[in-house]
Amino acid sequence: MTQLVQALVLGLLIGGVYALMASGLTLIFGVMNIINVAHGALLILVAFITWKIWSLSGIDPILLSVVMTPLMFGFGWLLYKGVLSRISGSSPGMSVLLTFGIAITIEGVLNVTAGNRFRSATPSYFSQSFRVLGISLPKAQVFGCLAAVLVLGLLFVVLSKTWTGRAIRATAQNASGAALVGIQSAGVAALAFAIGTATTGVGGSILSVLYPFFPASHYDWISRLLGIIVLGGMGSLAGALVGALILGLAETLTATYVSLQWSTLIFYAVIMLVLLFRPQGLFGSRLRQDVMA
């Protein structure tokens, strides 16, 4: 029983972190209708920078997200303006190839500069745990999840309470309709991409503590996150949240009761099953497509 509760709590803690990471990906998809395959590589990039700063200065890695988030916001904005906006209007196939190219480039840069080996940031609380009612909660997981929930909350407030947020949601639902009521879609896309990338600033900082990583880890991460947003419904923020919690739970339960090496397959299996039975995901809706043009 304790083992089950332990697994469930751990699953929810991890799910919170996944939710944050997936929210950026699903936001970008919703607004721009492109799959940002580079999202995982950006996470690993942030994890590397965080790890480097931590190992040089000893500043807490999760705390470093306060710096990394605005940095990644700026980086995302530049990436959109400098690279992605150049192909807006061409086929979705091209945009996926472009973000794939960006992902490989980031991996290549990390390979050359940092070398192809595992890293992990290990602050003082790394191996400590809180003990609550006989359940042990690793401090790193708790801090990571708290940071993730905080940022997710902030994101929801921005999207639902501000004009900018409403503009982003409007564009996500109907780009041409949003343009008709005066929302500049290019500006919104840049903003959405920047915000989506900013979430990797927090996500990557947390990742550097919770998981060992090396340059090619980004494939693993992008697959997990794609699994989450396919389950939740591509483009849906609420869906990403629920999908992340479900997959976080499924992963820890498999790791606890089956074996660690099968737990990563859960994400791929979920992608297949969702596409087989509910291609639009849990929260995705099928909108009328014929009058878009």
Partner 1 sequence: MTFVDSLRARTEGRRAKLTIVALFAALFLYPVILPFAVYEQGVLLLAFLTALMAVSWNIISGFAGYVSLGHSVFLGLGAYTGGLLAESYQVNPLWFMPVGGVVAFVAAALVGMVVLRARGHAFVIITIALLLSMQVLVTNFSGLTNGSNGVNVPLPFWSSDYQNMPFYYIFLVLLLATVAFAAWIRRTKFGTGLLAIREDEDKAAAIGVNTTRYKVLAYAVSALPIGVAGVVYAYFLSFLNPIGAFALLTSVTIVLSALAGGRGTLWGPVLGGFVVSIVSEVANVYGGGSQSRLLVLGLALVLVVLFLPQGILPAVAARLASRRAAKQTVEYTDQAGVAAARTSIVVTPRSAPAAERKAAPLLEIRGAAKSFGGLRAVDGVDLTVEAGSITALIGPNGSGKTTLFNLVTGAMPLGSGEIWFDGTRIDRMPPWERAHLGLGRTFQITRLFKSMTVLENVVAPLPTASWSLMAKDAVSGHEAERARELLDFVGLGRFGSQQAGALSYGQQKLVELAQVLMLEPKMILLDEPAGGINPTLVNRMVEIIRDLNRQGIAFLVVEHNIPLVLDLCDPVAVLSRGKVIAQGPPSIVRADPLVLEAYLGPEWLPAEPVPDAVLDQAALSAKGH
- Say which amino acid occupies 195: I
Interface residue with partner 1 among 59, 86, 88, 257 (CB under 8 A) is 86
290 forms part of the interface with partner 1 (CB under 8 A)? yes
Among residues 137 and 271, whose Cβ is nearest to partner 1?
Answer: 271
Helix axes 139-161, 185-210, angle to 10 degrees: 170
Q: Which stretch binds partner 1 (CB under 8 A): 49-57, 68-76, 94-102, 159-167?
A: 94-102
The CB-of-36 to partner 1 minimum distance in angstroms stands at: 11
**Burial status of residue 146 (CB atoms within 10 A of its CB: 0-12, 13-18, 19 or more):** middle
> What is the 8-class DSSP label of residue 89?
T
Minimum distance between the CB of residue 67 and partner 1, rounded to whole angstroms?
A: 26
- CB of 97 or CB of 158, closer to partner 1: 97
Q: Going by C-beta distance under 8 Å and a sequence separation of 6 or more, which residues neighbour residue 8?
A: 249, 252, 253
Residues 210-249 that bind partner 1 (CB under 8 A): 216, 219-220, 222-223, 226-227, 230, 234
162: tokens are 């501000």
Question: Minimal distance in Å, beta carbon 26 to partner 1?
Answer: 12
Question: What is the distance between the alpha carbons of residues 129 and 29, in angstroms, rounded to a whole number?
Answer: 37
Buried b (16+ CB within 10 A) or exposed e, 227-260: bbbbbbbbbbbebbbbbbbbbbbbbbbbbbeeee
Q: How would you class 152 by CB atoms within 10 Å of its CB: exposed for 0-12, middle for 13-18, buried for 19 or more?
A: buried
276 binds partner 1 (CB under 8 A): yes
Of 4, 87, 150, 186, the residue at the interface with partner 1 (CB under 8 A) is 87
For partner 1, the closer of residues 90 and 176 by Cβ is: 90
In the complex with partner 1, the residue whose CB is nearer, 60 or 220, is 220
Among 7, 10, 17, 35, binds partner 1 (CB under 8 A): 35
